[in-house]
Amino acid sequence: MHVTFFEAIGGIPKEIVYDNAKTAVKSFVERQKEPTDALKRLMRYYGFTHRFTNAYSGHEKGAVERAVELIRRKAYSGKQHFKTLEEAQQQLTFKVNDLNTRKKQREEKSAKTAFAEEQAQLLPKRIPLDTGVLSQAHVNKYGFIYVDSNFYSVPDYLVGKQLTLKKYPFNIKILYQDKLLLTQSRIYGRNNYKVDILHYIQTLKKKPGSIKRSLILRESTDWLQQIYQSYYSTTPKDFVKLLELIKYHSLGEVKRIIERLILTSRPIKTEIIRQQLIAHHERSTQSVHESTGIEAYAKTQLHSITALYQETGLGHE
């Protein structure tokens, strides 16, 4: 959160005041509070100092907590339900920016204007510090890794392998043999699953009949489940080929082709979808070549005109 905050304000405060939270205070030694190793690392890298509030001194932090409550109420009083965390964050960002641009009655200037004056006192920005927490995870026989009481799928060829994880507040980077394999958005709670059906293509090729009642299908997008039930429930092998098309191209591209076929009342078959994708990419490539050819011809003409001006001396008038 520190790194995100520093990026948002465009600098680093010279001193930051902390409550007595376990994430900031490692231990108490004769009323002296020792910061955690993570906080020490942040201070060494960014160059700021810290100060802890006194215990049982609500007046030292009450104004801050009141401000947080106020912003929360302003941001979410009109809408409390969001489909994703990103939507909730966008709502908060929009409302905070709106509040910061309003002028205060007594000072006749906005919080944004006031902060712009204070920014000159901040320490200069630095390259964001990588705060990921390293750990190891074993891939079980079902193609899942177990991270903080939850399960994440990985490609099925990694069953039995040991992976390296870098955990962040909102996502997890998964590495294999020191190379980034994929990034998963993080889930919280206990015994929840984050499943990507594309991770199981090789397994489904061997057992296509297992798709119908599988967890990986239930955890897929509603659209993909509907397509399976409507067009592929009796031809699971063809559905696996469709998954390969999605993996090679993208879900968005395949979805557009299928929706176009449905609108034109054409059959939904994987081979037809594949042909449509090839034709679409050929048209796109041809369009790029034509644009490049026109651009090259225009540049040639400009060079010729420039050379003509230089020969006649008109370019010096």
CATH number, domain of 23, equals 3.30.420.10
Residues 149 and 115 in one domain: no
What pLDDT, on the 0 to 100 scale, is given for residue 139? 97
Is residue 293 predicted with pLDDT exceeding 70? no
Domain termination residue (choose one: 121, 156, 178): 121
Percent of the chain having pLDDT more than 90?
Answer: 51
Q: Whole-prediction pTM value?
A: 0.71
Residues 155 and 259 in one domain: no
Write the pLDDT tens digit of every residue in 25-72.
Answer: 888 776 778 888 888 999 999 999 998 887 767 666 666 667 788 888
Work out the pLDDT band at 200, boundaries 50, 70, 90: very high
What is the identity of the amino acid at 290? E
Average pLDDT taken over every residue of the chain: 86
71 and 99 in contact (C-beta within 8 Å)?
A: yes
- 126 part of a folded domain: no
- 6 part of a folded domain: yes
Q: Which residues share a beta bridge with 183?
A: 173
Work out the pLDDT band at 255, boundaries 50, 70, 90: very high
Residues 90 and 115 in one domain: yes
- 44 part of a folded domain: yes
Give me the domain span that covers residue 65. Answer: 2-121
For residue 255, what are its two tokens? 């979805």
Residues 205 and 310 in one domain: yes
- 128 part of a folded domain: no
- 117 part of a folded domain: yes
Domain termination residue (choose one: 121, 145, 166): 121
Residues 280 and 215 in one domain: yes
Tell me the average pLDDT across 265-276. Answer: 93
What pLDDT, on the 0 to 100 scale, is given for residue 317? 45
Residues 211 and 316 in one domain: yes
Residues 12 and 111 in one domain: yes
Domain termination residue (choose one: 149, 179, 194): 194
- 149 part of a folded domain: yes
Residues 177 and 208 in one domain: no
Residues 214 and 234 in one domain: yes
**Total of domains in the chain:** 3
Residues 229 and 317 in one domain: yes
The 3-state DSSP class for residue 131 equals coil
What pLDDT, on the 0 to 100 scale, is given for residue 292? 56
- 180 part of a folded domain: yes
Work out the pLDDT band at 290, boundaries 50, 70, 90: low
Is residue 295 predicted with pLDDT exceeding 80? no
What pLDDT, on the 0 to 100 scale, is given for residue 296? 64
What pLDDT, on the 0 to 100 scale, is given for residue 62? 60
